Chain A
Amino acid sequence: MLGTAARLRDAGVLGLNERNTDYIMRLNPRRYYPRVDDKVLTKELALKAGMAVPDLYGVIANQGEVRTFPDIVENLQSFVIKPAAGSGGDGILVVTGRSERKRDCFRLSSGEIISEGEILYHLSNIVGGQYSLSGNPDKALIEYCVHFDPVFANVSYQGVPDIRVVVYRGYPAMAMVRLPTRASDGKANLHQGAVGAGIDMGIGVTLNGVLDDEIVDEHPDTGALIEGLEIPHWNFILESSAKGYEVTELGYLGVDMVIDRDRGPLILEMNARPGLNIQIANCAGLRNRIARIDEIHNKSAEPAERARIARREFQLERGIQ
């Protein structure tokens, strides 16, 4: 057991305790948490910083406003409902279309048909705080449903694949793409059964996939190869993530982005407590990269500069060929 611990330490693997005490508590002041925990605020701040985000159609802030939902979505075919203070992808409902026979029935990304009443109930639950971190009353966001870029079409099952970049003190440190599976119910969360694939920071090409802490080569539902996918707009994605530091001032930050077919990379949300699965997906520990960033850290570097440095520093060796 001690041997395993020593090997992990040598590999620079970051553990939960170390992440919590040494990074989150030190670099993420609690007063900045609302900037990422309230997705409405995140969206505002990101927009102000000139970043691209999915359009916000409406916010339902209390039980009384739940009734306004049909008005908000009246002219919409697809949209996403999510709790403003949700975590881990809980409580997100992706509506991809309306039922052709009944106007007030909606089709979810899973293909399931759901009535307006059920959506209203879901909204009530969100507003009541069922999905919020603290159990406090929450808000529900209704926003643009991303039409993901065809590059991921073969390696995702329903849902929207997203890209998670861990940004340490403004420098992108590690990235992965999260691919929904049938098991994850279309959600891009690793602990719900989505496949994670590490990304070569230098060139933006996917590595092996990881499913439930095990390495996989193919997507479990589609059978397509996961490795070697080139992610479009890679430089822009890294620059946007780096800019996330200016927006939130959180030193240990997870930035989640999606690539829209029409609008390019969009910031979905940011996270003050990004998980450690990204290490498994990349088959690499975070600590070495963090130590390297501490070495080269330059307070006055611009986001674009920081993204460039991250690409140079964290390019995998085989990528040079």
Chain B
Amino acid sequence: MKQRYVYVLAALLAVMGLSVFLYKWQVLGFPLGEDQERPVWTIEAAVGFESGPGSITAQLQIPALTPGFRMLNEHSVSRGYGFGTDYGGGGRVAQWTIRRADGDQKIYYRISVYEDESVDVSDTIPPFPPMPVINEPLKTAVDVLVRDARDHSADTASFTAELLRRVNAPSPDANVELLLSEVSSDAEFVGVITKVLASARIPSRVIHGFPLSGRQRSARLVSWLEVHDGDQWLYFNPATGEEMLPDRYLVWWRGNEALVNVAGGSNVEVDFAIQENHFDAVTIAETQAAQLGASSVDFSLYSLPIQTQAVYGVLLMIPIGALVMVIMRNIVGIDAFGTFMPVLIALAFRETKLLWGVILFTLLVALGLSIRFLLERLRLLLVPRLSAVLIVVVLLMLFISLTSHRLGLETGLSVALFPMVIIAMTIERMSVVWEERGASDAIRAGLGSLVVAVAAYVFMGMSWLEHLVFTFPELLLVVLAMVVLVGRYTGYRLTELQRFKALGLG
């Protein structure tokens, strides 16, 4: 009966821990391994202009909806300007304002984005566009083009493709030539296409953005065509009619609005620079989680001050050590002094490294033990004797540090990291066992402690495990579940198999 409660509790704990873990890993994108980095692109728009005599208002289109990308952060660098962002017709608009400025002005807008497949934000379904007012003779040309394309297509997508094929034909017909006669840029070209689509009552717009790749000093905006087929937005290459988006295409803004608009300034220029960086995946995941409003991140260890993080990096490994100890004690069946002594010794090993840790520990216990036997002759009362052992341990640590320093062995200095109270208690317990049960029992239990400590050290020293527990502290619930389960383990300990061997033969 009770057994069942234990299983239920362990299962609950494990499910809780694992589900939070899976959520953080799969949804929020926290990395499993350590030192994972993801590319982050920083795009900087530099707006330069000559200031006029009066107040200045500069407006710059900035990214709003960016399919395939998620924003990490954005900044504006502009001395003395008031800054704000707002939603405009083409997306978001950054606005800088200043009462008075002298000479050439340069203001910067910087945004960092990273790839995220799951971002698929399109805006709402647009209404059918009104028939554009087009004057003759263009109107006839548009009408003919729309009619021909409609005859050769089945739906919105194929209509668009057909239209693009016709306007991009190597030897365009007279109507197309007439339409494109005043086009001087890609953006204008796509603008004309949207006008033609509008007269076929198909919602469409120009999008402007960058295919992100590596580092670009002065990146050129690439205009693309976006068409709504009633269900979703489709992307077309205006130069070929292919339905696709360029690789890593970051949409900067949509529509026909000008990229930049400076009231009170002249000779406006915008330069884009793109920089590819690599960011720690944890940082990205946290930013993302914060944007999703996931509360798990408010409790993330990465939000703590760095020094506290370092402390917890160590503390969180103690449950791992405890699990190792539970297994060594209850499943393997190794005798050890003190319940948690081996774990604390293992913690000290982290600093001293294994070989020196074992040497220093053995040295300390052996010296302490011999002095403890001398103290025995003084017949001190228990508590004063324990205190005396403690003081001797401290002195021994000092002695070992000083001696090893003299000998030029700097590792010896780390002996100070051993938990001295625990060592003193171990020495006391060991000497009592030594007297009562003989040297072999005492040494066996001492070695057992050392073996458990080394095993705990090996597991607590695994850096991937440390990263895993630090990034996903909820995994400790799983550790707890395992400890609870071992708590109800009624099978034999491995050492008992040896101990009761004779009984199995009969």
Give, as a whole number of angstroms, the nearest-CB distance from A84 to chain B. 15
Question: Interface size (A, Cβ < 8 Å)?
Answer: 39
Q: Are A4 and B379 in contact (CB under 8 A)?
A: no
Task: For chain B, residues 458 to 506, give those with C-beta under 8 angstroms from any C-beta of chain A.
Answer: 487-494, 496-497, 499-506
Assess A17 versus B437: contact at CB under 8 Å? Given A130-B382, A283-B502, A284-B503: no
Inter-chain contacts of A11 with B (CB < 8 A): 503-504, 506
A-facing mask of B373-400, CB < 8 A → 1, else 0? 0000001011100000000000000000
Answer whether residue B330 sits at the interface, using C-beta atoms and an 8 A cutoff: yes
Inter-chain contacts of B501 with A (CB < 8 A): 4, 213
Answer whether residue A264 sits at the interface, using C-beta atoms and an 8 A cutoff: no
Q: Which of B382, B496, B497 contacts A128 (CB 8 A)?
A: B382
A121 vs B380: C-alpha distance when bound (angstroms): 8
Inter-chain contacts of A44 with B (CB < 8 A): none
Answer whether residue B22 sits at the interface, using C-beta atoms and an 8 A cutoff: no
Inter-chain contacts of A276 with B (CB < 8 A): 500
Give, as a whole number of angstroms, the nearest-CB distance from B498 to chain A. 8
Residue of A nearest to B384 (CB): A128
Question: Interface size (B, Cβ < 8 Å)?
Answer: 29
Answer whether residue A71 sits at the interface, using C-beta atoms and an 8 A cutoff: no
A279 vs B502: C-alpha distance when bound (angstroms): 10
Assess A5 versus B503: contact at CB under 8 Å? Given A17-B489, A18-B490, A130-B432: no
Answer whether residue A91 sits at the interface, using C-beta atoms and an 8 A cutoff: yes
Answer whether residue B436 sits at the interface, using C-beta atoms and an 8 A cutoff: yes
Q: Are B504 and A17 in contact (CB under 8 A)?
A: no
Interface SS majority for chain A: helix
Assess A8 versus B503: contact at CB under 8 Å? Given A91-B436, A129-B382, A191-B437: yes
A192 vs B441: C-alpha distance when bound (angstroms): 9
Answer whether residue B67 sits at the interface, using C-beta atoms and an 8 A cutoff: no
Answer whether residue B132 sits at the interface, using C-beta atoms and an 8 A cutoff: no
B-facing mask of A19-30, CB < 8 A → 1, else 0? 001100000000
Answer whether residue A125 sits at the interface, using C-beta atoms and an 8 A cutoff: yes
A177 vs B147: C-alpha distance when bound (angstroms): 111
Inter-chain contacts of A130 with B (CB < 8 A): 382, 432
Q: Are B381 and A124 in contact (CB under 8 A)?
A: yes
Q: Are A280 and B499 in contact (CB under 8 A)?
A: yes
A-facing mask of B432-445, CB < 8 A → 1, else 0? 10001110010000
Q: Are A17 and B492 in contact (CB under 8 A)?
A: yes
Q: Are A17 and B490 in contact (CB under 8 A)?
A: yes
Answer whether residue B333 sits at the interface, using C-beta atoms and an 8 A cutoff: yes
Q: Are A128 and B383 in contact (CB under 8 A)?
A: yes
Inter-chain contacts of A91 with B (CB < 8 A): 436
Q: Are A63 and B381 in contact (CB under 8 A)?
A: yes
Assess A5 versus B437: contact at CB under 8 Å? Given A13-B500, A128-B383, A280-B499: no
Q: Are B490 and A5 in contact (CB under 8 A)?
A: no
A-facing mask of B411-444, CB < 8 A → 1, else 0? 0000000000000000000001000111001000
Q: Are B493 and A16 in contact (CB under 8 A)?
A: yes
**Residues of chain A whose beta carbon lies under 8 Å from any beta carbon of chain B:** 1, 4-5, 7-11, 13, 15-18, 21-22, 63, 90-91, 117-118, 121, 124-125, 128-131, 191-193, 213-215, 276, 279-280, 283-285
**Residues of chain B whose beta carbon lies under 8 Å from any beta carbon of chain A:** 330, 333, 379, 381-383, 432, 436-438, 441, 487-494, 496-497, 499-506
* Given A15-B496, A192-B438, A215-B502, 20 other A-B residues pairs in contact with their CB atoms under 8 A: A4-B501, A5-B491, A8-B496, A8-B497, A8-B503, A8-B504, A11-B503, A11-B506, A17-B489, A17-B493, A18-B492, A63-B381, A90-B436, A121-B379, A124-B379, A124-B382, A129-B382, A191-B437, A276-B500, A285-B503
